[in-house]
Amino acid sequence: MAEIEADIEFWYEFASTYSYPAAMRIERLADAAGVALRWRPFLLGPILKEQGLTDSPFNVFAAKGRYMWRDLTRICEAEGLPLALPPASFPQNGLKAARLALIGEDEGWTPAFTRAVFAANYAE
């Protein structure tokens, strides 16, 4: 894989609620600032597992989950982004999507693919 030079590396997790609005606006903001952007998917699950969690903290701690959905609703409204709560199986496993996003990096379709996955999960 060819190394892509970037001023900003955007690390995101497909299962992360907060990655959704970030992914939908970061390219526009980077373009406006005149900086190159590299999309870097990663997996949060192994990090949470290392901390002893087997589920999202937003599911484990109900108050945290309620706040997150309210906060995400505010963020999406401010950005003009649609938001539909994902299925009961939240969070989705982002492994396959992350692998595909990495494959698309050399061909340049990672940003569009990433936004499409987020839209399917959080807007549709």
Give the residue from 72, 39, 75, 40 showing the smallest Cα distance to 56.
Answer: 72
Which three-class secondary structure state does DSSP give residue 67? helix
Condensed to tens digits (0 to 9), the pLDDT of residues 39-69 reads 999 988 777 778 777 777 776 668 888 888 8
For residues 60 and 98, give the distance between their C-alpha atoms in angstroms, rounded to a whole number.
24
In the predicted structure, residue 6 carries a pLDDT above the cut 80? no
Lowest mean pLDDT among 3-7, 10-14, 92-96: 3-7
Average pLDDT across the chain, whole number: 87
In the predicted structure, residue 2 carries a pLDDT above the cut 60? no
In the chain, the percentage of residues whose pLDDT exceeds 70 is 88
CATH number of the structural domain 8-122:
3.40.30.10
